[in-house]
Structure 1
Amino acid sequence: MPVTTRSTDTRRSILDAGQRIMAHKGYSAVGLKEMLAEAGVPKGSFYHFFDSKDAFGEAMLKSYFADYLTDMDRILTRSGESAAERLMAYWQHWRQTQSVDECQGKCLAVKLGAEVADLSESMRLALKEGTEAIVDRIERTIAAGLEDDSLSIDGDPRAVAQVLYDMWLGASVIAKIHRNLAPLDTAMAATRRLLHL
């Protein structure tokens, strides 16, 4: 295996291990030793790729959002469905992957948002950039729904997209607190009302 491929695989292993553990425990509760043991790599490998835990956190969040946005794009660009159908499929996917206790690292924005925003400016900015990219996609899909007449809204697409994302993020936090999906079901019903579906 070429050195660059090994190097990329090692970096990815560290990022994936950190994401899995931190999705369950949070950022501050996870030490470097635990993360590297999970990844199966020596300490020197970590510092080859990351200058600090904060630099790792920023890279992990960027990697998380890149993967998340790829999944989101796959749902929101499906052919043969109206924009409203694609948007509702996204919220259904959210309900299935972002809220459950065993989220397999798929709920980092929910788990780490409030915690790391106060710890590290670079991680806060990575979260801001990632969440804005999510809202951009929701906005575009709402605009497409207005064009294909599959939904209607009161207000402009950006404002409605932001309200929807904020509502789902909050509902995910409450679902974790209550350990049930009722807040997400409420968010789904409110989403249908906001989109006049």
Structure 2
Amino acid sequence: MPVTARSTDTRRNILEAAQRIMAHKGYSAVGINEVLAEAGVPKGSFYHYFASKDAFGEALLKNYFEEYLVDMDRTLARSGRTAAERLMGYWRQWRETQGVDECQGKCLAVKLGAEVSDLSESMRLVMKEGTSAIVGRIDRTIAEGLEDGSIVVDGDPRGTAQSLYDMWLGASVMAKIHRSLAPIDTSMAMTRQLLHV
């Protein structure tokens, strides 16, 4: 069956509705019917757009990471700024998005990471690919900062990028637990120390 613009729009509406709901409730706590109701799509049509709930989860995560990476690229590509300024702008943006709704945040990697990695190998692999792409962009920006002199690291740029991402991901989980931005603010201070900015 050919894909029409209408079916693409409906599929996107389902994914966007799911992302909004799951950013607050998680993956397992949300039923397909709740997502379809939020998207305004008839209950019986889910399997027209997705072969299974796992396929739906994969599509949800792929869509999320595609949008996230486009936004990240835009933040890290701001002209007229040093690599350090661009990278610190990314972390400030992270702080803003994780601080919404009493630290509930909007990041599906934070919200769903451990949960879906235990539920589905295919979703775990999408999560791994998406988070690896994020670390790659951080690594690239650190390397640019080494070149323009705005960043200094004591070790390997890739290892530093991975450590920073891991720290920020963990801090976001702790911010949710404590309902406080203090863990994220600590990560910001540590990031400045690690990058010597």
TM tier, shorter chain? over 0.9
Question: CA 1:18–1:6 in 2, change beyond 3 Å: closer, same or farther?
Answer: same
Q: Is the 8 A contact 1:175 1:181 kept in 2?
A: yes
Q: Is the 8 A contact 2:103 2:176 kept in 1?
A: no
Offset at 1:49? 1.1
C-alpha separation in 2, matches of 1:132 and 1:12: 24
Instruction: Determine the structure 1 residue equivalent to 2:85.
Output: 85
Instruction: Determine the structure 2 residue equivalent to 1:34.
Output: 34
C-alpha separation in 1, matches of 2:179 and 2:104: 16
C-alpha separation in 1, matches of 2:70 and 2:185: 25
Count of residue correspondences: 195
Matched, 1:95 2:95: yes
Instruction: Determine the structure 2 residue equivalent to 1:124.
Output: 124
Offset at 1:69? 0.2
Q: Is the 8 A contact 1:100 1:176 kept in 2?
A: no
Instruction: Determine the structure 1 residue equivalent to 2:195.
Output: 195
C-alpha separation in 2, matches of 1:124 and 1:181: 27
* 1:57-96 deviation per Cα after TM superposition (whole angstroms, max 9, x unaligned): 0000000000000000000011000000000000000000
C-alpha separation in 2, matches of 1:79 and 1:24: 34
Matched, 1:8 2:11: no
Q: What is the TM-score of this pair, normalised by structure 2?
A: 0.96
Q: Is the 8 A contact 2:103 2:179 kept in 1?
A: no
C-alpha separation in 1, matches of 2:113 and 2:135: 15
Q: Is the 8 A contact 1:58 1:126 kept in 2?
A: yes
Matched to 1:142, the amino acid is I
Offset at 1:98? 2.8
Moved over 6 A (4+): 102-105
* 1:27-49 deviation per Cα after TM superposition (whole angstroms, max 9, x unaligned): 00000111100010012331111
C-alpha separation in 2, matches of 1:101 and 1:165: 22
Q: What is the TM-score of this pair, normalised by structure 1?
A: 0.96
Q: Is the 8 A contact 2:98 2:104 kept in 1?
A: no
C-alpha separation in 2, matches of 1:191 and 1:91: 9
Matched to 2:114, the amino acid is A
Q: Is the 8 A contact 2:58 2:123 kept in 1?
A: yes
Instruction: Determine the structure 1 residue equivalent to 2:154.
Output: 154
Matched to 1:128, the amino acid is K
Q: Is the 8 A contact 1:15 1:60 kept in 2?
A: yes
Gaps of 5+ in 2: none
Q: Secondary structure at the match of 1:81?
A: coil
C-alpha separation in 2, matches of 1:14 and 1:81: 38
Matched to 1:160, the amino acid is T
Offset at 1:54? 1.0
Instruction: Determine the structure 1 residue equivalent to 2:173.
Output: 173
Offset at 1:102? 6.7
C-alpha separation in 2, matches of 1:30 and 1:154: 44
Gaps of 5+ in 1: none
Root mean square deviation, CA, Å: 1.4
